[in-house]
């Protein structure tokens, strides 16, 4: 079984609805992801940033302390007479500066302080690996003193003089273990902040999503009302935010256009029904007259039958025009663009009016440049030329003269039809192109008019994108023109 277009559309809408995530959720998740990532990256990098800063400060601090200890040792050491006293001085400097101070032999043995001098803190004895590192640091550095960090401490080292035939070094160390503690604490704090930020972002994103979604929801409700035929909705009312206001303006524009089209359609139906009714009534009454009165009187019967024929012709013309106009409005069939010999085509259309010059004394004054070609839909342009010439015939003056010209110009060719009639009032000019517009004066016209002629001209020319217009002076006549582009 084949699914109807409407069912398919409904199914598509349902699938789309299921697939599309709400703006509310999108904004909230975007916020949450950003908050989470920020917290995650902070927890990853922040401790290292802190550690780096601390380490730099510690190095400077250890360098200062090391230098100060060295200067003190140099100054006070000169007055010290025994090694025990020197040992005590070093121990004292350790305590005062809150660092470990040693004088080491090049093989890692401790020269000062003596182990027995240590009171509560046990002294380290083996420095072989530390001295290896220290000497390599000193070798790499042109300065006399070096400052560097290991896993656990920040070290200040300096080469002293030889003692008992071995090189001695000043070794000042400050522990960095407290840094790991700081980093652990920082990480915990950052995670707390992350959770807090996450909660705040939840609240903020909910607010922002609400601000975004609210006008859309309101617009949706209005669109539903509009779809049900309520043309009084104002989409701009209560809309805020540049894009939403722009959307509301577009919807208001669409509303106006649709309501105009709706009004025109209703008018068209009303007018068409009215125009159908008149000839149908005539046909019916004349047919009754033939049946009841004139059937047996040939002269009268023929007269009545002629009226029926004329009214039937009027109906046919009306049906054709309505069909043509609705085809043009809906774009059915599109444009069948072909190369047209416009000069010959004008004569061809004019031939259809020849009977008027023969029977009613109309004069067609023609001035057509030869060999003008254009690209257009032949049938539609034929209709345009026919309607314009037909109108000129209908509305021209007593002299029954109609001027037709086709002249080359820079852009292509200008076709114009001029009559000598009453002309069109200036205020009526913009309205004559509308469907069913008819000037207030009723005419008895030689070419049957349906009131749709000019709106067919307008639609057909607008489909092609051709320029057209009218210039008219009251009492002098009108000139309708069309500019045909070059091939």
> How far apart, in whole angstroms, are the C-alpha atoms of residue 306 and residue 300?
10
As measured in angstroms, the least distance from the Cβ of 383 to ligand ADP is 11
| Residue 313, helix vs strand vs coil | helix
Binding mask 323-362 for ligand ADP (x = CB under 6 A): ----------------------------------------
> How far apart, in whole angstroms, are the C-alpha atoms of residue 423 and residue 441?
12
As measured in angstroms, the least distance from the Cβ of 25 to ligand ADP is 56
Asked if 271 interacts with ligand ADP (CB under 6 A), we say no
In this complex, which beta carbon is closest to ligand ADP, that of residue 157 or of residue 449? 449
Decide: 317 and 450 in contact? Cβ < 8 Å: yes
Member of 346, 349, 432, 482 binding ligand ADP (CB under 6 A): 432
Q: Which range binds ligand ADP by CB under 6 A, 10-18, 91-99, 137-145, 432-440?
A: 432-440
In this complex, which beta carbon is closest to ligand ADP, that of residue 124 or of residue 400? 400
Segment 142-145 long-range contacts (CB within 8 Å, at least 24 positions apart):
145/63, 145/66, 145/67, 145/70
Asked if 391 interacts with ligand ADP (CB under 6 A), we say yes
Cα torsion 401, 402, 408, 409: sign: positive
> Can you spell out the DSSP letters for 425-470?
-GGGGGGTTSTT---SS----SS---S-HHHHHHHHHHHHT-EEEE
Member of 279, 304, 478, 484 binding ligand ADP (CB under 6 A): 478
Asked if 129 interacts with ligand ADP (CB under 6 A), we say no
Q: Which range binds ligand ADP by CB under 6 A, 35-43, 90-98, 328-336, 389-397?
A: 389-397
Buried b (16+ CB within 10 A) or exposed e, 8-29: eeeeeeeeeeeeeeeeeeebbe
Asked if 439 interacts with ligand ADP (CB under 6 A), we say yes
Asked if 279 interacts with ligand ADP (CB under 6 A), we say no
Write the CA distances from 113 to 171, 353, 467, integer angstroms. Answer: 11, 132, 109
As measured in angstroms, the least distance from the Cβ of 459 to ligand ADP is 11
In this complex, which beta carbon is closest to ligand ADP, that of residue 303 or of residue 476? 476
Task: Pick the closest to residue 481 from 468, 465, 464 (CA basis).
Answer: 468
Q: For tokens 């209709």, what's the residue? A: 383
Backbone phi, psi, residue 111, to 5°: -90, -50
Asked if 451 interacts with ligand ADP (CB under 6 A), we say yes
Member of 424, 460, 461, 482 binding ligand ADP (CB under 6 A): 424
Decide: 413 and 483 in contact? Cβ < 8 Å: yes
| Residue 176, helix vs strand vs coil | coil
As measured in angstroms, the least distance from the Cβ of 223 to ligand ADP is 36
Q: Which range binds ligand ADP by CB under 6 A, 11-19, 104-112, 407-415, 431-439?
A: 431-439
Residues that bind ligand ADP (CB under 6 A): 387, 391-392, 394-395, 419, 421, 424, 432, 437-439, 449-455, 478
């Amino acid at each position: 079984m084949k699914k109807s277009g409407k069912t398919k559309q409904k199914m598509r809408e349902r699938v789309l609805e299921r697939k599309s995530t709400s703006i509310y959720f999108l904004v909230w998740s975007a916020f949450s992801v950003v908050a989470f990532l920020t917290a995650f990256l902070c927890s990853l990098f922040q401790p290292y940033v802190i550690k780096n800063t601390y380490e730099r400060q510690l190095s400077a601090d250890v360098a200062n302390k090391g230098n100060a200890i060295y200067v003190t040792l140099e100054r006070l050491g000169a007055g010290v007479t025994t090694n025990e006293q020197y040992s005590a001085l070093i121990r004292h400097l350790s305590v005062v500066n809150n660092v470990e101070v040693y004088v080491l032999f090049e093989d890692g043995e401790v020269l000062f302080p003596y182990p027995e001098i240590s009171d509560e803190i046990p002294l380290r004895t083996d420095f072989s690996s530390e001295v290896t590192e220290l000497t390599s640091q000193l070798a790499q550095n042109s300065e006399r003193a070096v400052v560097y960090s290991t896993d656990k401490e920040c070290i200040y080292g300096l080469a002293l003089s030889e003692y008992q035939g071995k090189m001695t070094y000043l070794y000042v160390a400050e522990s960095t273990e407290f840094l790991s503690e700081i980093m652990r604490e920082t990480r915990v704090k950052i995670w707390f902040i992350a959770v807090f930020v996450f909660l705040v972002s939840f609240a903020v994103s909910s607010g922002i999503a609400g601000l975004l979604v609210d006008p859309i929801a309101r617009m949706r409700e209005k669109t539903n009302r509009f779809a049900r035929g309520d043309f009084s909705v104002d989409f701009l009312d209560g809309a805020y935010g540049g894009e939403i206001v722009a959307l509301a303006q577009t919807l208001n524009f669409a509303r106006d256009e649709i309501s105009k089209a709706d009004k025109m359609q209703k008018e068209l139906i009303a007018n068409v029904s009215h125009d159908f009714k008149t000839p149908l009534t005539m046909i019916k009454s004349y047919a009754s007259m033939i049946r009841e009165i004139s059937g047996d009187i040939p002269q009268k019967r023929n007269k009545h039958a002629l009226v029926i024929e004329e009214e039937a012709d009027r109906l046919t013309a009306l049906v054709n025009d309505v069909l043509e106009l609705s085809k043009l409005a809906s774009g059915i069939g599109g444009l069948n663009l072909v190369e047209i010999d416009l000069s010959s085509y004008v004569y061809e259309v004019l031939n259809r009016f020849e009977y008027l010059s023969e029977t009613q004394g109309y004069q067609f004054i023609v001035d057509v440049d030869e060999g003008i070609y254009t690209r257009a839909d032949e049938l539609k342009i034929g209709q345009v030329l026919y309607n314009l010439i037909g109108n000129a015939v209908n509305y021209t003056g007593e002299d029954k003269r109609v001027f037709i010209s086709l002249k080359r110009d820079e852009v292509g060719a200008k076709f114009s039809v001029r009559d000598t009639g009453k002309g069109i009032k200036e205020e009526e000019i913009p309205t004559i192109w509308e469907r069913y517009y008819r000037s207030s004066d009723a005419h008895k016209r030689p070419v049957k008019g349906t009131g749709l002629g000019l709106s067919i001209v307008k639609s057909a020319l607008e489909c092609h994108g051709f320029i057209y217009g009218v210039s008219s002076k009251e009492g002098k006549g009108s000139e309708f023109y069309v500019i045909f582009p070059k091939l």
